[in-house]
Amino acid sequence: MLLGNWQLLLKGKKEIGCKWVYKIKHNANGSVSIYKTKLVTKGYAQTYGIDYEETYSLVAKMTIVRTIIAMVAAKGWSFYQLDVKNIFLHGNLQKEMYMEQPLGCAHQTHPNLVCRLKKTLYCLKQTPRTWSDKISQYLITSGFQTSNVYFSLHVKKINCGIIVIVIYVDDLIITRDNDVDISDLKKFLNKKFEMKDLGKFCYFFSIEVI
């Protein structure tokens, strides 16, 4: 019996729980930027080998972030930051997984139905790796080369120069000596992923850049 994306749990399968999480995001000056609500899974209930395999995800180290800041300061390049919206909803699940109905959204007449997950959700153990693989693969197919030392650093030769992208979870740090090329790159990335343009790079994990 199927009702939209909901179905009865198949024999021999198990569902994982979920919950709502509320968060207030602040600007660099301490003012409220946005009130956020997201649905997260209870990933601690997943079983290795059944619900997921590899979980390791590449994240930029502060060493490379500071190195890029130093290079930009020395060369006088433009420096921008993008925030990818809902990054953990982009990945495709390889394992067959089911989730219980969220609190407040339960089906009135069929409360025993579960949701078959096809996309990743927050707090699934494999979610960060799935996102990392997806954005990295997209950049590679778009002509970027991944650093052999810092795998979150991507470089592309363009117009007798280079354009650099550093990935830190849902933040993309972009630098180039030409604002036109950066603008074109922003438009290109926004075709694949919904992004918020944070403008010039000025604040990053307690580092204020002037």
Q: How many other CB atoms are there within 10 angstroms of residue 138's CB atom?
A: 14
Tell me: pLDDT of 86 over 60.
Answer: yes
Residue from 132, 128, 206 nearest 172 by CA? 132
The token duo for 124 is: 């699934």
Tell me: pLDDT of 103 over 90.
Answer: no
Longest dimension (CA), the chain: 64
What is the C-alpha separation between 82 and 79, in angstroms, rounded? Answer: 11
Tell me: pLDDT of 28 over 50.
Answer: yes
The token duo for 205 is: 């994990």
Output the pLDDT for position 4: 44
On whether the CB atoms of residues 52 and 44 are closer than 8 A, the answer is no
The one-letter code for the residue type at 184 is D
pLDDT (average), residues 68-80: 85
Tell me: pLDDT of 22 over 90.
Answer: yes
Output the pLDDT for position 72: 85
pLDDT confidence of 20, banded at 50, 70, 90?
very high
Write out pLDDT tens, residues 167-208: 887 788 888 877 778 888 888 888 888 888 888 877 666 777
Q: What are phi and psi of 123, to 5 degrees?
A: 80, 0
**Number of domains composing the chain:** 1
Write out pLDDT tens, residues 124-182: 888 888 888 888 888 888 888 888 877 888 888 887 788 888 888 778 888 887 777 88
* Least-confidence region, from 97-101, 103-107, 115-119: 103-107
Q: How many other CB atoms are there within 10 angstroms of residue 162's CB atom?
A: 15
On whether the CB atoms of residues 121 and 46 are closer than 8 A, the answer is no
Tell me: pLDDT of 38 over 80.
Answer: yes
Q: Which residues form the domain of 121?
A: 2-208
